[in-house]
């Protein structure tokens, strides 16, 4: 039995396998990012700035090795001939350095829950940037989400007794970083290689300065500690590679849902593993943030579903218009003796 033209095709076993692989990659990527609060304290007694410098240094080593294995160097030549893109990469490297450094400091100084808040509200900040900088037009649901998120920040400021500057700095710096990367137009691994190349010399200089003062824990805390610091490169590169594997296998709507895994893990770790306080005002603020994200997610899924239906309808319409209209062949009698409409309807076949 042949399927009707309007029946949707069933996904092939290969596409199902690709989807499952994409989910595995995505969950691994965001899961690892969400577990970072367990990793950074292992690097103490290194300070946040020393950890940051090692992350810059060893991330370049790790990503260069990956690119050597994959033989992905075609992007480098055109990039070096474009000073404007090089300037944007330097700016992106500076902004992500602020984000990385503050995140490490926030985790190791007992602000895990607030760092998770930063990545929860990041989508709202990105939407605000789209309106203010890119002149994008928001749908009513997106306006509602931004309004609810703004109220949440005010309530959290009351709950903390101060503006939640760690969360806001993380959210704004990551949104700015995303905006710059959009203009640079490099894939994840290539972008990380370019940015850590910019970071490499300042990081190396800072570590040499610490060594000259006898404050570089890499050389004073034993082999195990040195290996943990060197593993910063893998800790940065592996989730990014997994994210790349997910991005090419999953629709953007699924990636958008998976991105909330990381701050959720961080939030749970802040409560369960680090026993951070959550008074009622903070709970109220977080609930409003989650409400705003729920509105955003519903709107994104609803819009994507409506777009798919419109695309399917357009394709069906195009197929229908391409079909030739077949006319019945006239019989010899009809050619020789034309009949009236009433006679032709009552005549036997």
Lowest mean pLDDT among 33-37, 83-87, 273-277, 317-321: 317-321
- pLDDT score of 341: 39
Lowest mean pLDDT among 80-84, 138-142, 307-311: 307-311
How far is Cα 218 from Cα 211, in angstroms, rounded to an integer?
Answer: 9
Looking at the chain, the whole-number percentage of residues with pLDDT higher than 90 is 55
How far is Cα 140 from Cα 149, in angstroms, rounded to an integer?
Answer: 14
How far is Cα 305 from Cα 313, in angstroms, rounded to an integer?
Answer: 12
Q: Work out the pLDDT band at 334, boundaries 50, 70, 90.
A: very low
Q: Work out the pLDDT band at 257, boundaries 50, 70, 90.
A: confident
- pLDDT score of 342: 38
- pLDDT score of 305: 81
- pLDDT score of 7: 43
- pLDDT score of 296: 84
Lowest mean pLDDT among 7-11, 94-98, 107-111, 153-157: 7-11
- pLDDT score of 326: 52
- pLDDT score of 56: 96
Q: What integer is the mean pLDDT of 37-50?
A: 96
Q: What integer is the mean pLDDT of 2-26?
A: 67
- pLDDT score of 61: 95
- pLDDT score of 212: 93
How far is Cα 95 from Cα 103, in angstroms, rounded to an integer?
Answer: 12
Q: Please say if the pLDDT value at position 24 is more than 80.
A: yes
- pLDDT score of 143: 87
Average pLDDT, the chain: 85
- Interval 158-203: pLDDT, tens: 888 899 999 999 999 999 998 898 888 888 889 999 999 999 999 9
Looking at the chain, the whole-number percentage of residues with pLDDT higher than 70 is 88
Q: What angle do CA 154, 38, 171 make, to 5 degrees?
A: 30
Q: How would you write the chain as a 3-class SS string?
A: CCCCCCCCCCCCHHHHHHHHHHHHHHHHHHHHHHCHHHHHHHHCCCCHHHHHHHHHHHHHHHHHHHHHHHCCCCCHHHHHCCHHHHHHHHHHHHHHHHHHHHHHHHHHCCCHHHHHHHHHHHHHHHHHHHHHCCCCCCCHHHHHHHHHHHHHHHHHHHHHCCCCHHHHHHHHHHHHHHHHHHHHCCCHHHHHHHHHHHHHHHHHHHHHHHHHCCCCHHHHCCHHHHHHHHCHHHHHHHHHHHHHHHHCCCCHHHHHHHCCHHHHHHHHHHHHCCCCCCCHHHHHHHHHHHHHHHHHHHHHHHHHHHHHHHHHHHHHHHHHHHCCCCCCCCCHHHHHCCCCHHHHHHCCC
45 cis-preceded (ω within 30 degrees of 0): yes
Q: Work out the pLDDT band at 10, boundaries 50, 70, 90.
A: low
How far is Cα 225 from Cα 36, in angstroms, rounded to an integer?
Answer: 17
Q: What integer is the mean pLDDT of 255-281?
A: 92
- Interval 281-307: pLDDT, tens: 899 999 999 999 899 888 888 887 887
- pLDDT score of 325: 54
Give the contacts of 168 (CB within 8 A, at least 6 positions apart).
118, 121, 153
Radius of gyration of the chain (CA): 28
Q: Please say if the pLDDT value at position 277 is more than 70.
A: yes
Q: What angle do CA 34, 40, 44 make, to 5 degrees?
A: 165
Q: Work out the pLDDT band at 349, boundaries 50, 70, 90.
A: very low
Q: What angle do CA 342, 344, 349 make, to 5 degrees?
A: 140
Q: Please say if the pLDDT value at position 101 is more than 60.
A: yes
């Amino acid at each position: 039995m042949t399927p009707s033209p309007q029946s949707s095709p069933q996904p092939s076993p290969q596409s199902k396998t690709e989807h499952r692989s994409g989910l595995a990659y995505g969950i691994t990527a965001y899961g690892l990012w969400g577990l970072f609060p367990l990793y950074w304290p292992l690097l103490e007694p290194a300070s946040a700035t020393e950890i940051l410098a090692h992350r810059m240094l060893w991330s370049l080593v790790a990503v260069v090795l990956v690119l050597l294995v994959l033989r992905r160097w075609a992007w480098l030549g055109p990039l070096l001939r474009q000073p404007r893109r090089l300037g944007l990469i330097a700016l992106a490297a500076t902004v992500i350095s602020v984000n990385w450094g503050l995140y490490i400091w926030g985790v190791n100084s007992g602000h895990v829950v607030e760092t998770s808040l930063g990545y929860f509200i990041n989508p709202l900040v990105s939407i605000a940037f789209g309106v203010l900088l890119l002149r994008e037009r928001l749908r009513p649901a997106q306006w509602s989400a931004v309004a609810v998120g703004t109220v949440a920040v005010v309530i959290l400021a009351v709950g903390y007794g101060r503006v939640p500057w760690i969360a806001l700095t993380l959210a704004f710096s990551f949104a700015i970083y995303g905006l710059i990367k959009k203009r640079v137009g490099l894939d994840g691994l290539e972008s990380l290689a370019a940015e850590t190349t910019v970071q490499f010399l300042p990081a190396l200089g800072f570590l040499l300065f610490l060594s000259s003062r006898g404050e570089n824990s890499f050389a004073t805390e034993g082999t195990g500690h040195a290996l943990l610091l060197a593993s910063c490169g893998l800790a940065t590169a592996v989730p990014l590679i997994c994210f790349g594997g997910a991005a090419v296998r999953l629709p953007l709507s699924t990636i958008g849902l998976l991105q909330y895994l990381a701050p959720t893990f961080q939030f749970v770790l802040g409560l369960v593993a680090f026993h951070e306080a959550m008074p009622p005002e903070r709970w109220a603020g977080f609930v409003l943030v989650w409400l705003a994200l729920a509105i955003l997610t519903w709107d994104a899924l609803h819009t994507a579903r409506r777009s798919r239906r419109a695309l399917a309808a357009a394709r069906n319409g195009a197929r229908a218009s391409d079909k030739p209209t077949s006319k019945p062949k006239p019989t010899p009698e009809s050619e020789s003796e034309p009949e009236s409409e009433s006679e032709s309807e009552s005549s036997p076949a």
